[in-house]
Structure 1
């Protein structure tokens, strides 16, 4: 075919081109979408836009098409209206056809995904979030549900306002409402993030590992006090680590197996890791805890990377010391970079998850830093926060729906 024979591409309708918005709603059943387009095909119209939603068995199908071409287009439009209404009535559906001109209005500059998590998600909190988005100058272009379990998660696609001021405004609103709101910039990078690295204690697992060891040494209260101070950023982590580990001196090495058996995974941890792995992500952990536990977790959960401190053992007893380089706040960020380099993933495509002050450098270094049930200082500094006790809700921040999670699990089985 010569260049002169190639048909010109259909132009996007300008503001002066007549268009029709065809809306169909009623009880859903197979064949509605195909039937509508079969009906419209007889009038030689072009499809400009389509949107379909099914909620509790009720369908809303909206199709924007060009007006019928040719002479007597008014009569042709009348025929189209009559035919569509007749077809809809035959299926006990309702139809509405609205004349207008041009395509949808262009979306504003500045586009973000706003994920709202509630347990439950109330109408009051949803109304407040929507009002605050509008108050920042943003426009809600689309809303859809990501999940109904273990939390209700909905996503707003917003345009017209930059991501950072929108995030700041909604963080204040979310704190007052008691819901979790995550704001991330739109773009391909969101779904391209291919390495997830998380803290272990009080993130991947529900426990503080050193406190489990301390329970066997009879010094749990003393260790817990120092741990809490370190996580709030009141103490230097390395100093506090050495002070706590010193209290474990003399414990028999057999306690390691007991502690491993006592570790409780955070609800949703297995689902998070399993889903990420099925989607092609690499997953790792960095911990201010101990390799005696993280190595076991790596094997059990199929993790790609794991790094932590190592308790020194001599003659079958803990010496009260750690060996090797200490994994502290700076160390966690350094390990994130190392894991990313080994995985061949740029930092912009990494996700870090943590709860304590010693996770802050790692959260800020990652493309997306998630504070998970974190201390206030961490929530304020991270890109986004999750305050429900389900680790798999992090998937929704990546735009992964519950349906995709369930499909991945079914495929794996």
Structure 2
């Protein structure tokens, strides 16, 4: 009996959750101002022996209405009671009042728990404290204004290393035998150590003579980032317009739009060819970080949208300007500098995890269908 895995729901005051010395797997947690419902899987002694318990009863298909000032979302690939206790202790230390808790995903490989907070807080230091706690507990912890817990009307995406799992310019360089040289420049630029425009010109000059014929072969081989198709499909189903804003190339962005991804608009850099090969020259204007931000602002203005209905997603230093523009700026698998400067960050999951930050749960996402 001691080695048998048990699954139970415990009913207890929220504060009592932090008092168990035992650790186990969390299946869900809900709370609405009275008693919490905590679903656990454990072996041996019960973590809360003196509380009411019953069989697991998975949460409602509809999350609670968001009525608090802030939302703090825990995204864990293997949620444990210790992780959850640390988050609750952290909120108490910060004097953040928890008004409601919902479980948006309760798969074994993906647990997403959203806490609604009423708190007078300064976003930047609070966000940084959340990042530190996230590293400590081995999860993602995302803080956002509760008004941003809704589906956006416009979403801007970086392409390289965001929608696709590569930096295209590096892939071109590998074929020409100068991969290490170009990759070093790209890495420095994405970390914010080099000016993007200057680094872009240097890399393009090194690619002079690359055959146009090879581009189509490379486009077919590009791997999408995990969750990219699902996120863009769901956004289209939800009526959100999507745009690629890339320091990469229109050639590949157009291919993705035509063959792989539900994207509405594209802004990227044009490749210049002469007699079937790259000239190594740059066609202005270069889509750098500030141009990405200006283009996203312009698109929102043309659509008559306030910036509160706009989100941006990226991974590199040249994405920071647009990540700090609208309701949410989600850094996906970001470089260290970007993780520190972006308003929100997802490091342990694919792009589709952004849907939880829009207030959707797994049941609602499933109803949108598959791409």
TM-score by length of 1: 0.72
Instruction: Report the equivalent of 2:186.
Output: 227
* Aligned with residue 69 of structure 2, among 98, 111, 123: 111
Structure 2: distance between partners of 1:190 and 1:258: 40
* Residues 278-297 of structure 1 deviation map (CA, whole Å, 9 limit, x = unaligned): 01111111111111101111
Structure 2: distance between partners of 1:270 and 1:340: 23
Distance 1:377 1:60, change over 3 A: closer
Unpaired segments ≥5 residues, structure 1? 1-24, 27-48, 62-106
* Aligned with residue 139 of structure 1, among 93, 97, 104: 97
Q: Which structure has the greater CA radius of gyration?
A: 1
* Aligned with residue 163 of structure 2, among 199, 204, 212: 204
* Aligned with residue 155 of structure 1, among 104, 114, 138: 114
SS in 1 for 2:263: coil
Q: Larger helix proportion, structure 1 or 2?
A: 1
Which stretches of structure 1, 4 residues or longer, exceed 4 Å deviation after superposition?
A: 49-57
Contact persistence 2:151–2:358 (CA under 8 A): no
Structure 2: distance between partners of 1:192 and 1:267: 20
The offset of 1:147, in angstroms, is: 1.2
Contact persistence 1:117–1:179 (CA under 8 A): yes
Instruction: Report the equivalent of 2:210.
Output: 251
Answer yes or no: is 1:261 the counterpart of 2:260.
no
Unpaired segments ≥5 residues, structure 2? 1-8, 11-32, 40-54, 61-65
The offset of 1:110, in angstroms, is: 6.6
Aligned residues: 318
* Residues 250-274 of structure 1 deviation map (CA, whole Å, 9 limit, x = unaligned): 1111011011012110011010001
Distance 1:330 1:58, change over 3 A: closer
Root mean square deviation, CA, Å:
2.7
User: 1:60-71 alignment to 2 at 5 Å?
Assistant: none
* Aligned with residue 390 of structure 1, among 350, 353, 357: 350
Contact persistence 1:268–1:391 (CA under 8 A): yes
Answer yes or no: is 1:350 the counterpart of 2:310.
yes
User: 1:268-283 alignment to 2 at 5 Å?
Assistant: 268-283=227-242
The offset of 1:59, in angstroms, is: 8.0
The offset of 1:213, in angstroms, is: 1.1
The offset of 1:358, in angstroms, is: 0.6
The offset of 1:228, in angstroms, is: 0.6
